[in-house]
Amino acid sequence: MSKPDDSDKAENGGPSAIEQYLVKDPERFALNMARMIEQAGKAASAWTEPREKGEVRDHVAEPVVDMVKTFSKLSEYWLGDPQRALEAQTRLFAGYMTVWANAIQKVNPNTEAPPDAVQPERGDKRFQDPEWGRNAFFDFLKQAYLVTSRWANELVEHAEGLDEHTRHKASFYVKQVSNAIAPSNFILTNPELFRETVASNGENLVRGMKMLAEDIAAGRGDLKLRQADYTPFEIGKNIATTPGKVIGRSDVAEIIQYDPVTETVLKRPLLICPPWINKFYILDLNPQKSFIRWAIEQGHTVFVISWINPDERHGAKGWEAYIREGLQYGLDMVEKATGEKEVNAIGYCVGGTLLAAALALLAQEGDHRIKSATFFTTQVDFTYAGDLKVFVDEDQVAAVERSMSEKGYLEGTKMATAFNMLRSGDLIWPYVINNYMRGKEPLPFDLLYWNSDSTRMAAANHSFYLRNCYLENNLSRGTMELAGRTVSLADITIPVYNLATKEDHIAPALSVFLGSRFFGGDVEYVMAGSGHIAGVVNPPAARKYQYWTGGKPVGDFNAWLATAHEHPGSWWTHWQHWIENQDNIRVPARKPGKHMKTLGDAPGTYVKVRV
């Protein structure tokens, strides 16, 4: 690296390396700083006003307390032995010395630049600007940060005596802190942000603070981070547009039947049970991505459960209510609309967990209408659950229950924040930088519109889920109690198609694989490429990713994967072939409303309730 002088110009003849970080119009810059402070006052007012009125009660202390307790346990190991503490400090100091020595060499024009002390992880987009390597100051910050965060991760990895849950939480919290303090997140330590701020004389900060105030107001006192431009989208107009009718409505669910597009259809209708965490139209974003539309084109008579966005009225609605008034009600509506008593069912994520619990209950009660079950990224055993398990222990569940008891539900923003934190490097900090520091509006994106369309969690429902699944793992243990019965997955003897995705951070492929052993019938385990959403919503026409099939899902997961056969593209066609192998009898297509009164057009009214 050469010394910064007048010859150090941008390739296009622009300002020198130093000049690009100097304010050109101090008066205008000062005026914009004043405007930014004015907008910051509006942001502060949007945050404090709901609290002063008692509309918002902060529960920030609870997760912070849990993080402090977790780090305390980690510290006990490293500080409990002076020799061990010294070794840890020595490793960090050695890393800093390497960074310092590299910095000295890089400013010397007569020496060859040494390699970095540590490289960013593959796929890390934070340090792509050339100045992170070319400018001695920013290069030093980058390397010091990477050395520190790598060292902190190693403290967790090498701490002996930690139980697995504490280690998982420590790793998660270290990652959150590391992501938050990255030099790329701050104006003065990010070369790209620094240059943009100087070039615009701070106008980017004025726009950004205005957006921050708007987003806090939109969250009614909490930050509702915008991840896309949502204005182009309207449910039923250009998103969730597959034609159909609402044929039933209960306190917790609307049942939608979609119009056929083929002359004949499979005799067995298809009932989809989506998660109530987020909304069903992830399976119907647009005609190109819609699994629902594609299934109709393959000859399925598709019915979907559209869950209510609960409020105070639904606080006591637990899993039995969601089974009776949602899933079982859906089966009743399917039978009323088609006359069919045999149905194929799909459950997605927690909707799949509910479907599995319902199947175990209905088997004991003698309701055998569901003849095959497909699970999309569904956990029934939570021994190796994903990163959401970080938020679940007795103290944290009790805190959530206290919070829900005030209104009868958990605010949708709470769950949205939790999911975003699982991938904070992708779903939080890039948007903080783009929106509030660059002052740029994010681009329209239907998937992120869906992601922002938060749903509340009914108190009894959510408490039952957290305790029986994540905390006590009762479903796979055969100790879950529903409707006065103790249910067992072994009672589910119908064929099961169990789809996992390779990079899933919510329902890991290993967890889905191990859950397969608890069913009482044959299980077809399939692993798709990509993650929890993209791995599922992968239409064949996109020709993306791949999927793996193999033998029975027994024994060691890695051994299964080593012998599994990889197929290019979407798993959708493989699933369709599996469905037709169960029963491929076809009948004339069924149009909604032929045998019953309809209640309106798809996608219905429940899905349009926003929080």
Please identify every residue annotated as catalytic. Answer: 349
Instruction: Decide if 191 contacts 132 (C-beta within 8 A).
Output: yes
Angle between helices 61-79 and 136-157 (to 10 degrees): 80
The per-residue DSSP string of 178-230 comes to: HHHT-GGGSGGG-HHHHHHHHHTTTHHHHHHHHHHHHHHHHTTTS-----S--
Distance CA 32, CA 584 (A): 68
Nearest C-alpha neighbor of 238 from the set 450, 390, 48 = 450
Q: Phi, psi (5° rounding) for residue 516? A: -60, -30
Query: Which stretches of 550-585 are assigned E, i.e. beta strand?
Result: 565-568
How much of the chain is helix, strand and coil, in % rounded to 5?
Answer: 50, 10, 40
Instruction: Decide if 18 contacts 25 (C-beta within 8 A).
Output: no
SS3 labels along 319-345: HHHHHHHHHHHHHHHHHHHHCCCCEEE
CA atoms within 13 A on the CB side of 129: 17
- ω into residue 603 within 30 of 0, thus cis? yes
Distance CA 117, CA 101 (A): 10
Query: ∠ CA 50-54-57 to the nearest 5 degrees?
Result: 85
Q: Please give the biggest Cα pair distance in the chain.
A: 86
Instruction: Decide if 58 contacts 222 (C-beta within 8 A).
Output: no
Instruction: Decide if 241 contacts 292 (C-beta within 8 A).
Output: no
The 10 Å CB-count burial string (b at 16+, else e) for 191-213 is bbbbebbbebbbbbbbbbbbbbb
Nearest C-alpha neighbor of 519 from the set 494, 549, 487 = 494
The gap between the terminal CA atoms of the chain, to the nearest Å, is 53
Query: ∠ CA 288-501-376 to the nearest 5 degrees?
Result: 70
CA atoms within 13 A on the CB side of 436: 22
Distance CA 236, CA 238 (A): 6
User: Strand 523-528 relative to strand 270-273: parallel, antiparallel, unpaired?
Assistant: unpaired
Residues, the chain: 611
Nearest C-alpha neighbor of 178 from the set 437, 436, 421, 435 = 421
How far CA 85 is from CA of 73, 148, 407, 485, in Å, comes to 14, 16, 47, 53
Distance CA 447, CA 458 (A): 24
Which residue type, as a one-letter code, is found at position 596? M
Which residue type, as a one-letter code, is found at position 527? M
